[in-house]
Each structure stands twice: as C-alpha cells, then as structure tokens.
Amino acid sequence: MKDKIIHKATDLFITLGFKSVTMDDIANEMGISKKTIYTHFSNKTALVKEVTLSLFETISCGIDTIRAQEKNPIEELYEIKKYMMLQLKNEKSSPQYQLQKYYPEIYDTLKGKHFEKMHACTLINLQRGISQGLYRKTLAIEFVARMYFIGVNGIKDGALFPLEKFPKAALFEEYLEYHLRGIVTKEGLQTLNKFIKNTVHNA
C-alpha cells in the first residue's frame, strides 16, 4: 500500500503541484481513508520527502539506462531530454517552485542530489564528445558542466519563463540546442543539425 500511495501522490504532485494537492485529494483519488495514508506517513512533509527521493531514483535509473547504450554524446543528450519530458510531464503547474517555497529543506536536499548526478553525467558526456571529435578540445569541461546545470535549473523559473510564453518541451529543446551549439566542432554541428531537423520534422 505504501508504494501505491507514493505512486499516486507522485502523479498528483507532478501534475498539480506539491502545495495544491492535499492528503484528502490523494485519499479520494485512491478510494481509501486519509487514516490509511497516515499509517505509512506521519504527515504530508514525510510523504513529499519520500515522493521526491523516489522520483529522483527513478529518473536516475532511467538516465543510467540511456547512458549504458553508449550512443554518441549528442544523441545521448537528446534521449535524456526526451526521457525527462516524459517523466516531468506537467505543463500547468510549477512543482519545483512549490517545492522550493513550501518545502525548502527537501528542495535543498534534492537539488544537491540533482547536482551530483547531473554534474557527473555531464562531465562524462563532455569527455566522450571531445574524444569522438564532436565537442571542441579546448572546452573547460568543469565550467561547461556547471553552466549547463545552472541553465537547466534556471529555465524552470516560471517568473523568467512563464508557461504561456515558453511551453516546457520547446524551452528545453531550445536550451539544449543553445548548449550544444556553444561546444560542438564542425563534425558535431552536422550531427546536431540532423537532430534539429528530425525534431522539426516530427513536431
């Protein structure tokens, strides 16, 4: 039952936001009593913490699966971006903003884990791209990796990028292209243009 509660709560939190969803909402959606939820979670904060950590582990495993396929580094980033869009499917809420505002300690813990995971993955992606001649050899990879993390998190700011002007999928697409155009070689640009063309064709 605990796993079922986490699964349903994750879906509701991501779709509607961490503040917007109440324990009553989760109980009603599952057709159970609120008391049942409280037998597994002492309060909503405890549930939010479990949900965010569970979601992080799920996404991390998914990214590791993509990386294990050892596709070329540019294709790898596009596959990860596509996977992230499927996992974080919201277009109408700002779960990250609500998490940061109402559960700051959980947000800070999650952000730290996110940085560690993304930083390590990005460094390896950059090193592979350089070795394959797709990224420039002169890149300061530690700097680029940290700037990429800042950018990915920055474009989630609803005040800077309101959803009505910047649909999430298109925004991430634009940022990924922006990132890659700054680091690719001529050979890498050919590969990048292929993915951009396919994205436009499939839109």
Number of structural domains, the chain? Answer: 1
Using the predicted structure, report yes or no on whether residue 117 has a pLDDT greater than 60. Answer: yes
Cα–Cα distance between 121 and 164 in angstroms, integer? 31
**Per-residue model confidence (pLDDT) at position 89:** 66
Radius of gyration over every alpha carbon of the chain, rounded to an integer in angstroms: 19
155: in domain = yes
User: Does residue 150 belong to any structural domain of this protein?
Assistant: yes
Domain presence at residue 35:
no
- Residue 16's contacts (CB-CB under 8 Å, 6 or more residues apart) are 92, 93
107's tokens: 């947000």
Q: What is the mean pLDDT of residues 161-188?
A: 93
* Position 119 in a domain: yes
Which of 16, 126, 119 shows the shortest CA–CA distance to 74?
126
DSSP labels, 75-143: HHHHHHHHHHHHHS--SS--HHHHHHHH-HHHHHHHHHHHHHHHHHHHHHHHHHHHHTTSB-TT--HHH
Among 59, 173, 154, which Cα is nearest to 97's?
154
In a domain, 141, yes or no: yes
Q: 43 in a domain, yes or no?
A: no
Domain residues for 152?
51-202
| 79: CATH | 1.10.357.10
Tokens of 145: 């990796």
Q: Is residue 177 part of a domain?
A: yes
User: Tens digit of pLDDT for each residue in 42-72?
Assistant: 999 999 999 999 999 999 999 999 999 999 9
Residues 6+ apart with CB under 8 A from 156: 94, 96, 97
Q: What is the pLDDT of residue 98?
A: 86
Look at residue 113 and tell me if it is in a domain.
yes
- Per-residue pLDDT for 82 more than 60? yes
Q: What are phi and psi of 190, to 5 degrees?
A: -60, -45
Q: In whole numbers, what is the pLDDT of the chain averaged over residues?
A: 92
Measure the CA angle with vertex 21, ends 33 and 36; round to 5°.
20
